[in-house]
């Protein structure tokens, strides 16, 4: 799902594992309003601009994905490598 707004969002703490290791500064909550739901298949690509609410729904087994997020505010230390890649 993309678009809409996040209702009662909870921001990840600046020093949390979510922010520092998993996926950078985040806000979780329910997406409401004018959003679009799309079915994704193996090999599909979705480009989501900064600031656009997004999330997963109707996952029947698992999701494996690659997320590329620029870090202009330098949240991660120079040379950071996600531990899963080591």
CB contact at 8 A, 32 and 7 = yes
| Domain extents in the chain | 1-68
CB contact at 8 A, 19 and 12 = yes
Considering the entire predicted model, what is its pTM?
0.67
How far is residue 81's CA from residue 47's CA, in Å, rounded to a whole number?
A: 22
Cα 6-19-12 angle, rounded to 5 deg: 40
How far is residue 65's CA from residue 84's CA, in Å, rounded to a whole number?
A: 13
> How would you write the pLDDT of the chain (86 residues) with one tens digit per residue?
999 999 999 999 989 988 888 777 888 899 999 999 999 988 999 998 888 999 888 888 888 888 887 778 787 888 888 777 77
């Amino acid at each position: 799902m993309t678009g809409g707004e996040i209702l009662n969002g909870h921001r990840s703490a600046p020093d949390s594992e979510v922010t520092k290791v998993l996926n950078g500064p985040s806000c979780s909550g329910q997406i409401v309003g004018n959003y679009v739901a799309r079915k994704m298949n193996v090999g599909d690509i979705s480009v989501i601009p900064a600031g656009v609410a997004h999330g997963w729904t109707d996952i029947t087994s698992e999701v494996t994905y690659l997320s590329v997020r620029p870090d202009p505010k330098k949240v991660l230390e120079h040379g950071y490598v996600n531990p899963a890649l080591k």
